[in-house]
């Protein structure tokens, strides 16, 4: 017999079942709240206390700084797995055998050409366009060139759509980058690994061979793993709710890219670098920016700090901070910006304002430093986040569709005008 929660409203008691997850998280199942209480609903701006679904993909514990994909710790996956393996794990639930991984990669490579007409869409954008806006448009445009990927009710059709987007998305990312830099839009090499091919498509110069730097390859593979999923964050929830209307995978992903673009979410990695560069230009005056971050009258926030769920260190930030040190040392890059970041972190971790609010560095605080060392321009940082998050969005969309979840449609509490008669313009 499951435990129950009791709610008393206007003197009447109501009972609701408690749901307990495999990590002993507890939720009150209020799916019958409105019908049993004569239309009473809950209100929770930003859904800080509200679960939107039951999911078996990612578990995180914000108090303990734990993050696991399908039960495997992020620490082990970042150290021992590669990005395509993690993508398979997130989407299908198990680490792949060698045969499964090879077939998955083969099926993806078979879909890694993009319709030539998409180049015309890329060409129509000004070089000044933000890459996230370009990428969201191109991803949605894929639907027009792959209409069979819309009505995907069978697992087989879903698999085909998933291989298409995993094959084509890195091309769109590379084209988005190359367009801004006046480079020819070309393809990579089907003989390369998934992440190697991404690097070659992005950085190959038309007049020379491209040599993979193992340090950069390893760093990018790790960064993509660390960004791959994060339960019901803003952009993933957007993908799930858009997908719940059965609009198809590519259009659902396009909504997630737009949500991730925001500076409070994935756009923070770009905002962190811009903040650190501003501090550097300001003579490294971190005190001034700490004061701004603590001033409630000042809209400035310390970008890369704080998190809706982690009220302890973001485990990804720890791994990325270590990787930043290693990559910069290996590349022989002495980066003033990294020194400023470390000084800022040191000050913030002992400042009462940040300590009281449990504001710690998050995944975005150090990632931009590595991207910069790899030669990726600041306005492409959030695109790299989207590249990493792609398998997570796919996994969450697939879970929602396979669970046949209903269309997402939250309620509201109306606080506007009550009924009033129309006034003719001469009486207003």
Residues 6 or more apart whose CB falls under 8 angstroms from that of 374 comprise 216, 219, 220, 327
- CA 157 → CA 163, 241, 408, distances in Å? 10, 20, 23
233 binds ligand SDX (CB under 6 A): yes
CB of 253 or CB of 359, closer to ligand SDX: 359
Does residue 320 contact residue 363 with C-beta atoms inside 8 Å? yes
Does residue 225 contact residue 77 with C-beta atoms inside 8 Å? yes
- CA 403 → CA 152, 228, 393, distances in Å? 14, 21, 15
Q: Which of 160, 308, 311, 342 binds ligand SDX (CB under 6 A)?
A: 308
Does residue 374 contact residue 216 with C-beta atoms inside 8 Å? yes
CA angle 55, 270, 218 (to 5 degrees): 70
Does residue 275 contact residue 369 with C-beta atoms inside 8 Å? no
CB of 299 or CB of 421, closer to ligand SDX: 299
68 binds ligand SDX (CB under 6 A): no
Q: Which of 306, 315, 388, 391 binds ligand SDX (CB under 6 A)?
A: 306
- Residues 296 and 304: their CA atoms lie apart, in Å, by 18
Task: Spot the catalytic one: 307, 325, 330, 379.
Answer: 307
305 binds ligand SDX (CB under 6 A): yes
Stretch that binds ligand SDX, among 84-92, 106-114, 249-257, 258-266 (CB under 6 A): 258-266
Single out the residue of 81, 32, 51, 29 nearest to residue 240, CA to CA. Answer: 51
**How far apart are CB 235 and ligand SDX at their closest, in Å?**
6
Task: Report the site for ligand SDX in 336-355 (rule: CB under 6 A).
Answer: none
230 binds ligand SDX (CB under 6 A): yes
CB of 114 or CB of 324, closer to ligand SDX: 324
301 binds ligand SDX (CB under 6 A): yes
User: At 72, phi and psi to the nearest 5?
Assistant: -95, 135
57 binds ligand SDX (CB under 6 A): no
**How far apart are CB 124 and ligand SDX at their closest, in Å?**
30
Structure-derived torsion over alpha carbons of residues 60, 61, 64, 66, reported in degrees to the nearest 10: -10
Q: Which of 68, 178, 200, 265 binds ligand SDX (CB under 6 A)?
A: 265
317 binds ligand SDX (CB under 6 A): no
DSSP 26: E
Q: Which of 162, 171, 279, 363 binds ligand SDX (CB under 6 A)?
A: 363
Three-state SS for 268?
Answer: helix
132 binds ligand SDX (CB under 6 A): no
Q: Which of 273, 303, 328, 394 binds ligand SDX (CB under 6 A)?
A: 303
293 binds ligand SDX (CB under 6 A): yes
77 binds ligand SDX (CB under 6 A): no
| 277: number of Cβ within 10 Å | 16
320 binds ligand SDX (CB under 6 A): no
252 binds ligand SDX (CB under 6 A): no
256 binds ligand SDX (CB under 6 A): no
Q: Which of 167, 188, 304, 368 binds ligand SDX (CB under 6 A)?
A: 304
359 binds ligand SDX (CB under 6 A): yes
Sheet holding 26-28, edge to edge: 4-9, 12-20, 26-28
User: At 396, phi and psi to the nearest 5?
Assistant: -70, -40
Q: Which residue is nearest to ligand SDX (CB)?
A: 306
Single out the residue of 31, 36, 44, 34 nearest to residue 12, CA to CA. Answer: 36
- CA 161 → CA 78, 101, 142, 164, 251, distances in Å? 27, 17, 11, 5, 12
Q: Which of 58, 149, 270, 362 binds ligand SDX (CB under 6 A)?
A: 362
307 is catalytic: yes
**End-to-end C-alpha distance for the chain, whole angstroms:** 61
119 binds ligand SDX (CB under 6 A): no
**How far apart are CB 266 and ligand SDX at their closest, in Å?**
6
CB of 160 or CB of 308, closer to ligand SDX: 308
**How far apart are CB 114 and ligand SDX at their closest, in Å?**
27
Residues of this chain that interact with ligand SDX (CB under 6 A) are 230, 233, 264-266, 268, 293, 296, 301-309, 357, 359, 362-364
Which residues are designated catalytic?
307, 364
């Amino acid at each position: 017999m499951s435990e129950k929660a009791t709610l008393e409203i206007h003197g009447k008691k109501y009972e609701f079942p408690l749901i307990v997850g495999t990590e002993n998280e507890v939720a009150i199942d209020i799916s019958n709240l409105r019908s049993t209480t004569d239309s009473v609903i809950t209100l929770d701006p930003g859904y800080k206390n509200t679960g939107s679904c039951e999911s078996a993909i990612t578990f995180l514990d914000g108090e303990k700084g734990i993050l696991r994909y399908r039960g495997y710790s992020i620490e082990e996956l970042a150290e021992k797995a590669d990005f395509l393996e993690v993508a398979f794990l997130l989407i299908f639930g198990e680490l792949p055998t060698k045969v499964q991984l090879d077939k998955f990669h083969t099926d993806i490579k078979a879909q890694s050409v993009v319709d030539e007409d998409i180049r015309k869409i890329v060409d129509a954008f000004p070089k000044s366009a933000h890459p996230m806006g370009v990428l969201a448009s191109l991803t949605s445009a894929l639907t027009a060139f792959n209409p069979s990927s819309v009505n995907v009710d069978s697992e087989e059709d879903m698999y085909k759509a998933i291989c298409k987007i995993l094959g084509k998305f890195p091309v769109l990312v590379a084209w988005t980058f190359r367009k801004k830099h006046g480079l020819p839009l070309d393809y990579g090499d089907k003989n390369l690994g998934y992440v190697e091919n991404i690097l070659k498509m992005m950085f190959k110069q038309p007049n020379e061979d491209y040599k993979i730097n193992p340090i950069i390859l390893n760093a990018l593979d790790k960064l993509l793993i660390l960004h791959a999923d994060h339960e019901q964050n803003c952009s993933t929830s957007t993908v799930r709710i858009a997908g719940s209307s059965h609009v198809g995978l590519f259009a659902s992903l396009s909504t997630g890219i737009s949500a991730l673009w925001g500076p409070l979410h994935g756009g923070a990695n770009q905002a962190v670098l811009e903040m650190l560069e501003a501090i550097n230009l300001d003579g490294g005056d971190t005190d001034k920016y700490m004061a701004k971050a603590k001033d409630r009258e000042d809209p400035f926030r310390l970008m890369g700090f704080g998190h809706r769920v982690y009220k302890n260190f973001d485990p990804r930030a720890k791994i990325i901070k270590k990787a930043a040190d290693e990559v910069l040392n290996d590349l022989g890059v002495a980066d003033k910006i990294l020194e400023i970041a470390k000084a800022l972190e040191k000050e913030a971790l002992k400042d009462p304002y940040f300590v009281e609010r449990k504001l710690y560095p998050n995944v975005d605080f150090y990632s931009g430093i590595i991207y910069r060392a790899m030669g990726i321009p600041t306005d492409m940082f959030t695109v790299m986040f989207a590249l990493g998050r792609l398998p997570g969005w796919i996994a969450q969309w697939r879970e929602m569709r396979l669970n046949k979840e209903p269309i997402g449609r939250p309620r509201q509490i109306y606080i506007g005008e009550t009924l009033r008669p129309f006034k003719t313009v001469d009486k207003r």
